[in-house]
Chains A and B, each alone.
Chain A
Amino acid sequence: MIPLSAYVAVSAVLFITGLLGVLIRRNFIIVLMSVEIMLNAANINLIAFSHYLESMAGQLVALFIIAIAAGEAAIGLAIIIVVFRGKISTNVDEMNFLKW
């Protein structure tokens, strides 16, 4: 029997990996991929607790998180296309034209 803390540890490591990706990568698409890694880590946590505490609520919330991740990916990639059309770069350091 695998202890619950093993799943929580895997999820924490994945979450930190995604967080580091958001912080250190410069390509906006990779930043969005790192956000997906973090959402997956949260899903592992929710489903592990749902299994070990014998409640369905965690699986339902994980399902909603997947739906929201789909919406986030669609909107984020549309924004990248708009930015890329005007200014040929996906570097997050150069996306500052809303600054004043």
Chain B
Amino acid sequence: MVLVFFAYFALASIAAGVLTVSLKHPVHCGLALLALLVHVSGLFILLNAEFLWAVQIIVYAGAILVLYLFVLMLMNLKTDDRYFHSSYLYFLVPAAIGSLLVLALLVRSPFGGAKGDATTEAILEHGDTHAVGIKMFSEYLLQFEIVGVFLLGAVIGAIVLAKTPRPASKERKV
């Protein structure tokens, strides 16, 4: 059963990713990106990360994607006839060959390493949100504060960039 869900989410997210890159109209690309984000969040559920599932839906699908669609709506883009790079086949063929090689290596390699203390039973005892919260506000507190300052800077930067420039006043024009 889990295998069926995994196959569905994996294949659907890859298909949505390919559509995002290859569709012509930018709004259609945005909707394909929405499908990709929802299916990737399904993969998070299969990995016992419910908190990240919620964050993915709220922040990515709810905030970032709406921002993209708002900008697309404001700009009223015309779709070009030539929307790919003129020599994209030169990128596509080596990328396909190289990615097949990398995939063959990845599927064959045994992944392993030192295991931590967050076993599935330990996480399921109080839930994933509890585990993330305990870890974030003890060990990762400094990084949390840095991300907060970063987001403040991003908000101020976006406002400053996107503000309508004030018309020059008459006294200063000599």
A positions within 8 Å CB-CB of B: 1-2, 4-10, 12-14, 16-21, 23-27, 29-30, 32-34, 36-37, 40, 43-44, 47-57, 59-60, 62-64, 66-75, 77-82, 84, 90-91
Contacts and interface: CB of A to CB of B under 8 A. Distances in A.
A85 to B, nearest CB: 9
Interface in B24-69: 26, 29-30, 33, 36-37, 40, 43-44, 46-49, 51-52, 55-56, 59-60, 63-64, 67-68
A57 B116 contact: yes
Given A30-B29, A33-B20, A69-B64, A6 B6 contact: yes
Contacts of B124: none
Contacts, number: 230
Interface of B: 2-3, 6, 10, 13-14, 17-18, 20-21, 26, 29-30, 33, 36-37, 40, 43-44, 46-49, 51-52, 55-56, 59-60, 63-64, 67-68, 71-72, 74-75, 77, 80, 82-85, 88, 91-92, 95, 99, 102-103, 106-109, 111, 113-120, 128, 131-132, 135-136, 140, 143, 147, 150-151, 153-155, 157-159, 161-162
A60 B140 contact: yes
B14 A10 contact: yes
Contacts of B114: 53
A80 B59 contact: no
